[in-house]
Amino acid sequence: MAFSKEIQEEIYNYCNNHLADEEWYETEFFFIKDEDLRKRLVEEFKAIRFAYKLYEGIEAKGENLIFEVRNQILAYATIYEAVIEEVLKTYYSDTKEYHDLMYSCVPIPISIPTKQREELGELLEHDGKDIYTFYYGEKKKDEPKVRFDDKCLTAEKLGVIHKFLNKKSEEIDLPREIIEIYNYRNGIHLIAERRKKITYELDLSKKAYRRMRPFIDQIKDRLQADGKI
């Protein structure tokens, strides 16, 4: 059974009063050229903040608080991942750093005729094992298999994200904190929780939100410095 109209309006007013206006969201991710992705990022960010205020408003405790924290971490990690991947692909795909991220050096077999292969096997023998011919060359990685931490470290090498000092003059290692948040995101299912003995802390959820501001600012600053926006 749904809440009464009055209660619904009160809840929506309470949560929406703490959200930025539409213009802020549109300008916040203006550097994302893919319009569909930019729209999804805006929707996701708004939904995260709305849900946070909702759970804060009911003073969620116990399993409800854990549920809220897990989903905050999941949502923010998803935004970090999408933004980093899109920025690297859109603006830095012609760099050596991006090339090194997307390609690996692997053994590539050489096909030779059967007779020559048999002759080679007679000349070269190692502990009774078959001998195969190959050379080392570059091979493009499957994009879904490129690790997120490698993307973060590539962004750091390019100066897209980096360490910074907070207002207390404490050094914040932004790239590695984002990696930490993402690693927790990978554990957000019950089997992994038990296997890795993961516990979800509200502080990590808040960190995921607070690091979004320097994350976006650093990207914009680097893109401007490189003349890309």
pLDDT digits over 60-114, tens only?
A: 888 888 888 888 888 999 999 999 999 999 999 999 999 999 998 877 777 777 7
Number of domain units in the chain = 1
Chain centroid to CA 42: how far?
16
The residue range of the domain holding 89 is 5-101+143-225
User: Is residue 162 a part of any domain in this protein?
Assistant: yes
Instruction: Look at residue 106 and tell me if it is in a domain.
Output: no
How big is the chain by its Cα radius of gyration, in Å?
24
For tokens 């930019």, what's the residue? 38
List own/partner pairs for 201-209 with CB under 8 A and 24 or more apart.
Answer: 201/69, 202/65, 202/69, 204/69, 204/73, 204/180, 205/68, 205/69, 205/72, 205/73, 205/76, 207/177, 207/181, 208/72, 208/73, 208/76, 208/77, 208/181, 209/48, 209/52, 209/72, 209/76
State the pLDDT at residue 198: 42
The burial class, CB within 10 Å (0-12 / 13-18 / 19+), for 106 is: exposed
173 within a domain of the structure (yes/no) = yes
Distance of CA 128 to the CA centre of its chain: 47
In a domain, 204, yes or no: yes
Q: Which parts of the chain register pLDDT below 50?
A: 190-198
User: Per the domain annotation, does 52 fall within a domain?
Assistant: yes
pLDDT of residue 196: 46
- Contact between 80 and 72 under an 8 Å Cβ cutoff? The reply is no
For position 162, what pLDDT does the model report? 97
Task: Calculate what percentage of the chain has a pLDDT beyond 90.
Answer: 44
126 lies in some domain: no
Whose structure tokens read 């050094």?
Answer: 171
Residue 170 domain flag: yes
The length of the chain in residues reads 229
Q: Cα–Cα distance between 88 and 104 in angstroms, integer?
A: 17
